Amino acid sequence: MFQFVLPHTRGSSHGQTRIIRKAYEQDFYTQMMDECYKLWSQLEREAGVTLYRQTGLLVMGPEHSDSYLLYKNTMERNNVPMVILTPENFSQHIPNVILAEGDGALVDINAGVLYADRALKTVQKLGGVIRDKEKVTDITPGPVVTVSTSAGVYRAKSLVITAGPWANKLLAHIGLQLPLEVEKINVCYWKEKVPGTYDVKKRFPCFLLTEGEESDKHIYGLPSNEYPGLVKICYHIGGETDPDHRDKQTDRSDIGILQRYVARCFPGLIPEPSVLTPDSHFMLDCHPAYSNIVFGAGFSGHGFKFGPIIGKLLCELSLGEVPSYDLSPFRIRRFQGNTKSAL
């Protein structure tokens, strides 16, 4: 169920495309992505629809920094196909991008773009039911869970909650509050000086800067695709906000960071935009008092690519089955002291 009419721009992430990658700092994400790729491919075959386009993911950052080395070492440990670029051959492989002095660069070869809008339509095509413009107004726990919405009442033996920025507002109905911070990320698109310079059709890669001159936080981007002539480049940190009143949060400091970065490293773009959990890891768990109420939250802007495996894991939890993966990195007990339960 969605409280807004689809498509909308009110969730944790939105737009037609997302990055899919195995390049991560943590082994457990990289290992989970093996099955995610297989499940996305299976969905493509079943529906006869292209949902993934291989572009590669360019990872850049100070060569000897902890953040860059975490990506590189994790990929090496997990045998992720990659290419290491040098300052000498970088521009040959990645034209129209400037690699900062002292930065390392590698490419996660099998990374690429997921077409999120197509994925949603594919789920519906295969029989999935999506109820939009239907807001959940109450949840009553018990052996049979009752969910009241603006359109009716539903009852089931188990319930899975994946409410994004509204997770705590829904969980409040069942006496649980998670240590979640809702941030407003300014999604920015940057105009190409010469159309096609950074186009997905020319195999320009998605990219991620682990840290740079402008900030020690991640900056990421996708090639020109959903809006021809415009490249999506965003800062992975935003200002805290209320999801119901997000427009009251007007902090634009992240846009200044992006402008300086684009001007320094992307000579083919006009440097003017065309207008998380505490540890940034997922929360996948059962309610501490009601084992038949399961939730997924805190995806911190990087959950979509994991959609198939997250759905599988939440299904296993709701059925009382042993999860396919070790969920200890995602259990809420890691936040003991920060998680509040009124039960």
Read off the CATH number of the domain in which 99 is found. 3.30.9.10
Distance in angstroms (rounded) separating the CA atoms of residues 286 and 290: 7
Distance in angstroms (rounded) separating the CA atoms of residues 325 and 93: 37
As given in the structure block, the two tokens for residue 292 are 């038949």
Q: Establish if 314 belongs to a structural domain.
A: no
Distance in angstroms (rounded) separating the CA atoms of residues 88 and 109: 20
Percent of the chain with pLDDT over 90: 56
Res. 24: pLDDT tops 90: yes
Could you tell me if 108 and 75 are in contact, meaning their C-beta atoms sit under 8 angstroms apart?
yes
Distance in angstroms (rounded) separating the CA atoms of residues 52 and 57: 13
Task: Work out the average pLDDT over 126-136.
Answer: 87
For 27-52, the pLDDT digits (tens) are 999 999 999 999 999 999 999 999 99
Res. 174: pLDDT tops 70: yes
Q: Establish if 3 belongs to a structural domain.
A: no
Q: What is the pLDDT of residue 10?
A: 44
Please list the helix, strand and coil fractions of the chain in percent, rounded to the nearest 5, in that order. 30, 25, 45
Where are the extended beta strands (E) located within 168-218? 176-177, 183-184, 189-192, 206-209
Closest CA to 272 of 326, 308, 233, 299: 233
Q: How many domains does the chain have?
A: 1
Res. 53: pLDDT tops 50: yes
Q: Which domain holds residue 256?
A: 57-109+183-274
Q: Establish if 79 belongs to a structural domain.
A: yes
Q: Establish if 259 belongs to a structural domain.
A: yes
Give the pTM: 0.78
Q: Establish if 120 belongs to a structural domain.
A: no
Q: Establish if 47 belongs to a structural domain.
A: no
Could you tell me if 195 and 228 are in contact, meaning their C-beta atoms sit under 8 angstroms apart?
yes
Q: What is the pLDDT of residue 28?
A: 94
Distance in angstroms (rounded) separating the CA atoms of residues 131 and 135: 9
Q: Establish if 205 belongs to a structural domain.
A: yes
Quickly state the pLDDT bin for 239 (edges 50, 70, 90). low
Quickly state the pLDDT bin for 295 (edges 50, 70, 90). confident
Distance in angstroms (rounded) separating the CA atoms of residues 177 and 287: 10
150 vs 246, more confident: 150
